[in-house]
Structure 1
Amino acid sequence: MFFAVLAVAGQIERNLFREENLEGQVTSAAKGNHGGRPKVIDDDMLTFAVALKDKGVPVPDIAKKLTIKTGKNAGKNPSVASLYRALAEAEEAAIDGGLPLRPELVHIRRPGRT
């Protein structure tokens, strides 16, 4: 009976710890912190990579042209795997969100010219 009481107390403590942990995660998510490692390839790099890929440049060559801006690997090139992953995520987000992956060209006409 003594061990049963200890087991119940331990289970209650684990449940309490789990609830507090989940509450902390929800609070952090509301503040914009979702945990995990930061992305190596930012939006500017991704836009540049998509433009080069559209021109037919191989992905390993694109990775050599990009430079990581922040973090412990600042100044180095991202891995080819990271670039493939970022391109796939961008493609998937464009399909799911109904947004174009590549911006359409816009021709600006000046007044008085046709």
Structure 2
Amino acid sequence: MAETERENIREATLEGLDTAARKGKHGGRPRVITDDMLHTVLRRRAGGESVAQIQPDLIIPTGKRKGHSPSVASIYRALAEHAHREAYPEAVEAAHADCDKLNTHGVPGPHGTPIERTPL
């Protein structure tokens, strides 16, 4: 009985996450490093500056830490994600294609059964 209840909770959670995603809401913390900031970091790194030299000049535009500089770790994380996207562009394209396919054909539910989608 407990296993059935757990499965019901899991299914309801997945349906809730799917509904939120269709509405454009995604969980997690918003990114601190914007595309403009990343472009600035890449340009200045190409000019020979270190991340520690660049970090004080960057300002977070929104959120709880608005007006502060991002941490050096956040900058390195953004650089690593950028390098990964540049190294594996086909993986990024495949992920976008999979996402589009899920949005048009529905998300598979538990045990491969499709979750019925209602129009918004």
Q: CA offsets per residue over residues 67-99 of structure 1, 9 Å max, x none?
A: 00111100000000000000111111111116x
- For structure 1, list consecutive stretches of 5 or more residues without a partner in the other structure: 1-7, 99-114
User: How many residues are treated as equivalent by the alignment?
Assistant: 90
What TM-score does the superposition give when structure 2 sets the normalisation length? 0.70
1:53, 1:38 → 2: CA distance? 24
Q: Return the index of the structure with the highest Cα Rg.
A: 1
2:24, 2:47 → 1: CA distance? 35
1:12, 1:70 → 2: CA distance? 43
**Secondary structure of residue in 2 paired with 1:32:** coil
Letter of the structure 1 residue corresponding to residue 60 of structure 2: I
1:81, 1:24 → 2: CA distance? 32
Q: Which residue of 2 aligns with 1:50?
A: 42
Q: Does 1:32 align with 2:24?
A: yes
Give the CA RMSD over aligned residues.
1.3
**Secondary structure of residue in 1 paired with 2:9:** helix
Choose the corresponding residue for 1:91, options 64, 83, 89. 83
- For structure 2, list consecutive stretches of 5 or more residues without a partner in the other structure: 91-120
Q: CA offsets per residue over residues 48-78 of structure 1, 9 Å max, x none?
A: 1110011010001111110001111000000
Q: Which residue of 2 aligns with 1:111?
A: none
Bigger RCO (CA 8 Å, 6+ sep): 2
User: More helix by proportion, 1 or 2?
Assistant: 2
